[in-house]
Amino acid sequence: MRDKNHIQSVDRALKILEILGESPRPLSLTEVARRAGLIKTTAQRFINTLTSLGYLIREENKRYALGAKTLSLGFRFLNSSSLVSVSRPYLDELSTALEATVNLAVLDHCDVLVLYRREVRRFLKFDIHPGSKLLAYGSSLGRALLAGLPDEEILQRLDQMDIKRLTPRTVVSKEGIMELIAETRDTGYAISDQEQSMDLCSIATPLLNDQNQMVAVINVSLDAMKRSDADNVEAARVRLLSTGERISRLLGYEGPYPRIFV
């Protein structure tokens, strides 16, 4: 017997969001309809509605992916979830020890989405807080997050980014960015040296779970004045990697660290 309290249209809309959320790539209308068990005209109506509300985005190749509104809802969950709860005390400890700003972030398509931040000094002109988005191509957070993707997918995302020279040191060529990402994979951590601000040098490393998956990235932001002292940078790097490993162990990761899996 059909439950009168069950709204089928809501069920179908959520199913479409789940399908796109589970897909490693954007999907076409035909693919969404097939996976949802809907005829194309019905699937199109749901997709059009979700897109107009901001829960989906339509890419140039007529494929669909989760939109900012869905990701924002996900962020609100993550902000109160075990990921932030587990990481916060270790990040606060790191920030206090280095007297430096630290961040916890995930990849939001072509941007970095900040989940947690403890700010000691502001290097950029705008305010950054949980929920803020940063450019992925020039930041240590973004570079570490992109390093966990296949090269083909990275290049596709770079094609969709508005890559600009923010400082004289910003790497803007795709070849240069890919070289830095390759270095990040080799070392297990990323460095962005005065690419977003001439006052800022940052180092980022991944958080890994029991499936060897990168679930997020943490970083430390250093005053560029300290960058001239190699001992200061090395001490920050060692402390950051130690923090990343401690959190990753709590998330179930058991392999060598730092490590980035593709």
Local structure of 191: helix, strand or coil: strand
Q: In what order do the strands lie in the sheet with 27-28?
A: 27-28, 63-66, 56-58
Token pair 């309809």 in the structure block, residue: 33
User: What are 77's two structure tokens?
Assistant: 């969950």
Convert 106-134 to b/e letters by CB count within 10 Å (16 or more is b): bbbbbbbbbbbbbeeeebeeeebebebbb
Same fold flag, 8-66 and 71-250? no
Spans of all domains in the chain: 8-66, 71-250
Q: What is the mean pLDDT of each run of 10 residues along the chain (262 residues)?
A: 77 91 87 95 95 88 83 60 84 94 92 90 67 89 96 94 93 96 97 88 94 94 73 92 95 94 94
Q: For residue 22, count CB atoms less than 10 angstroms from its CB and return exposed for 0-12, middle for 13-18, buried for 19 or more.
A: exposed
The predicted structure's pLDDT at residue 75:
61
Q: Where are the alpha helices (DSSP H) in the chain?
A: 8-22, 29-36, 40-52, 68-79, 82-98, 140-146, 151-160, 174-187, 224-227, 230-250
The predicted structure's pLDDT at residue 218:
98
CATH of 71-250, one of 3.30.450.40, 3.40.50.720, 3.30.70.600, 3.30.70.100: 3.30.450.40
Report CA torsion sign: 166, 169, 170, 174.
positive
The predicted structure's pLDDT at residue 80:
47
Question: How confident is the prediction for the chain on average, in pLDDT?
Answer: 89
**Residue 85, CA distances (Å) to 78, 183, 240, 247 in order:** 9, 31, 18, 11
Q: What's 8-66's CATH class?
A: mainly alpha
Taking Cα atoms as reference points, which of 205, 216, 220, 212 lies closest to residue 254? Answer: 212
